[in-house]
Structure 1
Amino acid sequence: MRSPLSLIAPAFAVALLLPAATSLVHGPYELQHWFETRHERTKSAEGPRLTPSLVIDTFQDLLHNDLGFWHGTGENLTLQHEPGSMRLFPTHPDQNFHTQFNAYGCFSLLPWQDHFLHVVFEGNEDFTVSLNENNAECSPNRAPFPGVPDSVQASRYVMRTREESSDDGTDDWDEGFKLVQQPEMKKPPPTNNSYRDDVHDDNGQAPAYSERTELFIPLSHFRINQHRVVSVSFSGFYTKEPILIHRVEFVSNIPAPSPSNNQFTIPEKLPTGQLVLRCSRPNSFAFGIDDGQPQYAQDVMRILDEEDVRATFFAVAAGLRDSSTNFTTFYQEMLKKGHQVALHSNTHPRMEGLPTLGQIDQEIVQSMLTMRDELGIDCTSIFPHHVGMTLTKDPNSLILPPPFGTVGARMRQQLAQHIRNPYIVNWSVDVEDWLWANTSTPEKQLEAFYRDIARGGNLAVMHFLDPTTVAYLPQFIRHVRDAGLHIMRVDQCLEDPNSPNL
């Protein structure tokens, strides 16, 4: 199952301008806030000049960053703006905050490819930082928008610098960066979230020393197409502590290790799963079908047989172990018919929101063991360049769609610790059965499906939780065929060399 909006969903929520600067705001995404601004590498008669730092956001404006583009929230993330800072109040890992490079064209980061993403913030360190790639057409009218992100775990790149406060009560940034006065911290309005004031003690007095928290992340640690980035984002929050962001930019160097910054050095880039939103094979289309209600399973099998198409099923391990569902028998039959069965976690939580890496590991490992024990699928068989799942002589690519579509750095990294180069699959076509199936207007599932096909999507997510969704499946299949697309399994549409021949 998925959430109403994920990090990579095709629309964001943007803050609505309210009279009070300290108001808590959120609202719908608006394209009119985006326009193109571009910094280019310049040359002189003496030769190439060093590329200056690129300041992306100092949060002087509620709706726009320093490049003139929109910044704002998705998934109903509450925020509080004051000139010079943006405070976020996360409650679950799907929530996100984006600050964008542009919208109607591709922005190239190649002039800054040797730089570091520098973020100055306070509070919550338990989140994901992503650079988000645009789609191939660089258009918000094409699916997916935005395209795939690559993500890192913020806490691995934190530099804490303890320094004495100046006489006037303000602190300066490190030598080599532009001097900026740090805004005064104020208490937020009442909220159920916890809040930590790091600047003043219980008596309201500024301490003799203050600790500044910064991120320095090499741009090379984000493995995306740097010719077409669309935004920097913060998401994957797995605690409810607020975060106060002051500055987002690219800088050419980092402070040298010293006692004052705890001998900070850049950590290594951890292996991570490859996030997939669309098929790569030309003119292909794939249905990713999540677990559903056992009573509708045979109807799904019958429709796929009648339409003579193959699909990929994402099985929750707990359902396989529950003999009352008969899912093990169902998936065994689907495997014999040539369908693909892939991991979908152990108990279907938002994995990035789990508090510990050990709990994320349990979701992955227990799912792998159950697939082996119940379906004979080996998730550890190593093929060239990746790990696959095998059933007798039928190799299937290892694929894990994150429950609810929730994607974050910790889940991606932990999966790659167990399995080399796994695919993490989301979608570019959303049936929206989670939204419309059990309503008075279930036909809106068809509208959503047709809309995303028209926008260029070719990898669908759906469930068999409701009879209306199952009943629409033949119409989904025929619409795809009428569009001239060839329906196949997810591993086949991704051109996995170990997938069965078409």
Structure 2
Amino acid sequence: MYSLSKSLLLLISSSLCLSSALVIDKFAAEDSNALGNWHGCDEGDGITCTWLTNGLRIQSTDTDYSFYTQLNNGCQDITSLSSQYLHVKLSGSTAFSIALQQNNPQCDEAVAPYPETWDIVYAADYAVSGEIYVPLSHFNINKARAVGFAFKAFRSTATTTLTLVELVASLPSGRTVPAKKATGSLVFQCTRPNSIAFGIDDGVPELAQQTMKIIADAGIKVTFFTVGSALYDSSGNFTAVYKEALARGHQVALHSMTHPKIEGLASVALIDAEFQQSIAALKDKLGVTTKYFRAPYGTDGALTRQRFEAAVVGGGSRIINWSIDIEDWLWGTSSTPAKQVDAVTRDIAKGGNLFVAHYLYPSTVQYLPEFIRLAKATGKQIMRVDQCLEDPDAPPL
């Protein structure tokens, strides 16, 4: 894996010296890019990718879908190219995000999380006359473990046609680029050695107290992500539940105000309102301020991360995803709810240590003690998300 990576690095360095450009993708073939590595779109109804003669037309109706073009099938060390630029030629909509993805330390897609994380920019900020130039320095990742680029979170149903993706050594004469916008970090994995954490999103009031009792009986601390509007809903008991959770030493963090796919909202003003109102709700109802946020549906995009970072006093925002998915959304009300246990077993075996869960379904709450048992069986200590991320502001273990 690494010998291939070094060979490709030599090719990249040589190409940049000789021609000032390394072509990553010119869309000449459906099965591989110009480097001979995989490229392709997510499968599903939310995106339509049409291969043209030396081009790819993308139309998306869902911000969860992406197109990927890889530098390497494992890890590619591009640290020596940090002064270079990503250059994209395109036509159509520029209302989408571009991410540079970072692989896990094993450089293995069979290990969770894969990818480990990525940093992201908003394409429209860099687009001029059908061309985009993004400094690689604007992608704040471990560039020794680069996977490739993702074109994602398409905010418009208008088409985007890509015709060239390459790395170049310099900008054209007279061309400038904007400053990097502050962007919250995206987290899939605990960093503290031998730690594992439950991130639990809102559920239904009828199952809240049962969930709290199971957690208390297990003697563990967790992180709850709450929708702000639920705290103002007098028909539920969420404010009381989360006050109790705080009193017991749990963490309570943000899950938006109304649970939309934030990146798909029609304007930056609406995105800002989701953050500002949910921040105000936690402060008003629970007396809590936090820099932790879990995006509804796990949807990621540059505007979501930039606007949350701007909303957090002092910055340093954390967008929390997961590496253990109990798949309650898939199996919770099915005829085979025990497959939730199978999902946890699978993801723990792959190295996952950060849960996503909800208390939406009776079957999920029924299996919660088993999820906790499986987590404890790893030998890792169960703790809050801020503790597992070694946050200096988190309470001591």
* Map of 1:365 onto structure 2: 276
State the Cα deviation string for residues 374-416 of structure 1 (Å, max 9, x = none): 1011x3xxxxxxxxx3xxxxxxxx2001110001000111111
| Aligned counterpart for 2:240 among listed residues 295, 314, 329 | 329
* Map of 2:97 onto structure 1: 128
The 1-side partners of 2:393 and 2:9 are apart by 43
| Aligned counterpart for 2:171 among listed residues 254, 257, 268 | 254
Report the Cα offset of residue 110 of structure 1: 2.1
User: Percent identity among equivalent residues?
Assistant: 45
Report the secondary structure of 1:301's partner residue. Answer: helix
Deviating more after overlay: 232-241 vs 66-75: 66-75
1:485 aligns with 2:375: no
Report the Cα offset of residue 91 of structure 1: 0.6
Report the Cα offset of residue 240 of structure 1: 0.3
| Aligned counterpart for 2:302 among listed residues 406, 409, 419 | 409
Which residue identity does 1:361 align to in structure 2?
D
Which residue identity does 1:64 align to in structure 2?
S
Report the Cα offset of residue 75 of structure 1: 4.8
| Aligned counterpart for 1:222 among listed residues 139, 156, 162 | 139
Report the Cα offset of residue 82 of structure 1: 2.1
State the Cα deviation string for residues 408-438 of structure 1 (Å, max 9, x = none): 0001111111211111100011111111101
Q: From the CA coordinates, give the structure whose radius of gyration is larger.
A: 1
Report the Cα offset of residue 219 of structure 1: 0.4
Report the secondary structure of 1:302's partner residue. Answer: helix
State the Cα deviation string for residues 39-83 of structure 1 (Å, max 9, x = none): 317999xxx957842210000001110111111111522111123
TM norm structure 2:
0.95
| Aligned counterpart for 1:239 among listed residues 134, 152, 156 | 156
The 2-side partners of 1:52 and 1:215 are apart by 16
**CA separation of 1:43/1:135 partners in 2, compared to 1, >3 Å: closer, same or farther?**
closer
The 2-side partners of 1:145 and 1:111 are apart by 23
**CA separation of 1:249/1:436 partners in 2, compared to 1, >3 Å: closer, same or farther?**
same
* Map of 1:97 onto structure 2: 67
Report the secondary structure of 1:323's partner residue. Answer: coil
| Aligned counterpart for 1:341 among listed residues 241, 252, 272 | 252
**Length, aligned pairs only:** 388
1:344-493 counterparts in 2 under 5 A? 344-377=255-288, 379=289, 389=290, 398-419=291-312, 420-493=315-388
**CA separation of 1:364/1:59 partners in 2, compared to 1, >3 Å: closer, same or farther?**
same
Stretches of 4+ aligned residues off by more than 4 angstroms: 41-44, 48-52
Which residue identity does 1:38 align to in structure 2?
L
- Normalized per residue, which structure has more helix? 2
Report the secondary structure of 2:292's partner residue. Answer: coil
State the Cα deviation string for residues 218-240 of structure 1 (Å, max 9, x = none): 00000000001111011111110
- Tell whether the 8 Å contact from 2:9 to 2:77 is kept in structure 1 after alignment: no
Which residue identity does 1:72 align to in structure 2?
G
Report the secondary structure of 1:39's partner residue. Answer: helix
Report the secondary structure of 1:244's partner residue. Answer: strand
**CA separation of 1:476/1:83 partners in 2, compared to 1, >3 Å: closer, same or farther?**
same
The 2-side partners of 1:269 and 1:79 are apart by 29
The 2-side partners of 1:474 and 1:225 are apart by 37
Report the secondary structure of 1:224's partner residue. Answer: coil
The 1-side partners of 2:12 and 2:141 are apart by 24
* Map of 2:54 onto structure 1: 84
State the Cα deviation string for residues 426-464 of structure 1 (Å, max 9, x = none): 001111111110111111111111100000000010100
State the Cα deviation string for residues 320-362 of structure 1 (Å, max 9, x = none): 1101111000100010001110011000000001111000000
1:61 aligns with 2:32: no
Which residue identity does 2:295 align to in structure 1?
P
Report the secondary structure of 1:227's partner residue. Answer: helix
1:501 aligns with 2:396: yes
Report the Cα offset of residue 111 of structure 1: 3.2
**RMSD of aligned C-alpha atoms?**
1.7
The 1-side partners of 2:12 and 2:284 are apart by 60
- Tell whether the 8 Å contact from 1:63 to 1:72 is kept in structure 2 after alignment: yes
Which residue identity does 2:374 align to in structure 1?
H
